[in-house]
Amino acid sequence: MISFKQAAIAAVATALLAGYSVSAGAVEWRGWNIHKPDYPNTVAMDKFAELLEEKSGGEITLKMFHSGTLGTQPDAIEQVRIGALEIGNFNLGPIGPVAPEANVVSLPFIFSDMDHMHRALDGEAGEQISAGMAKKGLVALAWYDSGARSFYNSKKPIETPADVEGMKVRVMNNDLYSGMISALGGNPSPMAFSEVYQSLKTGVVDGAENNWPSYESTGHYEVAGYYSLSQHLIIPECVCINAQVWESLSDDQKAIVKEAARESAELQRELWAERAKASREKVLESGVQFNEIPDKSAFQDAMKPVYDTYLADNPDLKPLVELIQSSN
Ligand code: BDP
């Protein structure tokens, strides 16, 4: 066990190496977030920063950079892994290519609803996912909600997999999502979040997929007016910290940082539920054509190749897939 003093020296050394400001044992971290100012995650990450400073008596401060100003999500994940940034609010989707355990949440329809996802993340599956991420330099401090993702496009309602045939659909950077679109007969187009609005507008892509709050906050609903409730992915998000920075903290500091992250997650989940409703109402009022897909089995059946690929690449993760499926 290293002492508090050694840990403090290590923290300061890490801080000095990383080139951020340090005063008498105090550290200033930098945090990445992709969302706009009033988004639930943004408000919750600001709360996290506030709580960190308060609980640590000013020893730890966090400067948040919102709206993706520090770069794309895959880049930011790398930055936090190598310690160029300390903190990020990441969707587990783009973490999947880095940490196979985390990629399990990107298997389409693996969660039947939000409760199922919460149960899995709060239990043994969540521990395995966290351990896999920590091995890759990302320590998950808390989980944020991100609802269910559904398809939207500028052409027509999606009611059956055949409706996706031939459509160009933007996905996040992750081969599982490309496989998902291909399995439905569409053409996947991996692309940064910030480029999707323009691509939808100019017809570079026909559609994309996301939850209600992101569909609304980005203005995608203005240029892709058909939203079809496929709910094919329920992907949680993390508040993640660089593993070395985490290890440099004392036990007391670790407790403070975790508590602050967990409290911010409670706030985020409340704000998320409210925003999901408000965003849905806003886009429907604006004239978006919305359809439910009462029987999703044709979509679910079509996903077999995605599961097969994941399990062929990660045969050792079959028990994790089964663990999640059995806690349904
Ligand atoms: C949003 C996530 C964000 C992703 C974005 C996307 O909160 O982290 O970058 O989707 O589709 O729901 O890229």
pLDDT at 24: 53
Contacts of 263 (CB under 8 A, 6+ apart): 47, 48, 51
| Ligand 1 atom at shortest distance from the alpha carbon of 209 | 11
Secondary structure letter of residue 83 according to DSSP? T
**Any residues with Cβ below 6 Å from ligand 1, and which?**
34, 73, 91, 146, 172, 193, 210-211, 214
pTM of this structure: 0.92
**From start to end of 126-216, where are the E strands?**
138-144, 149-153, 168-171, 187-190, 207-210
Interval between CA 35 and ligand 1 midpoint (Å): 8
**Where along the chain do the CATH 3.40.190.170 domains lie?**
4-17+25-145+236-276, 149-234+293-326
Contacts of 29 (CB under 8 A, 6+ apart): 20, 60, 61, 62, 63, 86, 87, 245
Interval between CA 91 and ligand 1 midpoint (Å): 6
Task: Output the residue whose Cα is nearest ligand 1's atom 5.
Answer: 193
Q: How many C-alpha atoms does 94 have within 13 Å on its Cβ side?
A: 20
pLDDT at 13: 47
> Of 284, 296, 267, 238, nearest to 99 (Cα)?
238
Q: Quick one: fold of 149-234+293-326?
A: D-Maltodextrin-Binding Protein; domain 2 (3.40.190)
Pocket test for ligand 1, best of 32, 33, 34, 196 (most atoms within 8 A of CB): 34
CA distance 177 to 105: 11
pLDDT at 193: 98
Interval between CA 309 and ligand 1 midpoint (Å): 23
Task: Transcribe 86-145 into DSSP letters.
Answer: SEEEEEHHHHTTT-TTGGGGGSTT-SSSHHHHHHHHHSHHHHHHHHHHHHTTEEEEEEE-
CATH class of 4-17+25-145+236-276: alpha beta
Helices 318-326 and 304-313, axial angle in degrees (round to 10): 140
pLDDT tens string, the chain, 328 residues long: the values are: 344 334 444 444 444 444 444 445 789 999 999 999 999 999 999 999 999 999 999 999 999 999 999 999 999 999 999 999 999 999 999 999 999 999 999 999 999 999 999 999 999 999 999 999 999 999 999 999 999 999 999 999 999 999 999 999 999 999 999 999 999 999 999 999 999 999 999 999 999 999 999 999 999 999 999 999 999 999 999 999 999 999 999 999 999 999 999 999 999 999 999 999 999 999 999 999 999 999 999 999 999 999 999 999 999 999 999 999 999 8
Strand partners, 63: 30
Give the CA distances from residue 89 to residues 33, 239, 260, in Å, rounded to whole numbers and listed in that order.
5, 5, 14
| Ligand 1 atom at shortest distance from the alpha carbon of 172 | 13
Specify whether the CB–CB gap between 131 and 139 falls below 8 A: no
pLDDT at 25: 74
> Of 9, 68, 35, 69, nearest to 275 (Cα)?
35
Interval between CA 26 and ligand 1 midpoint (Å): 32
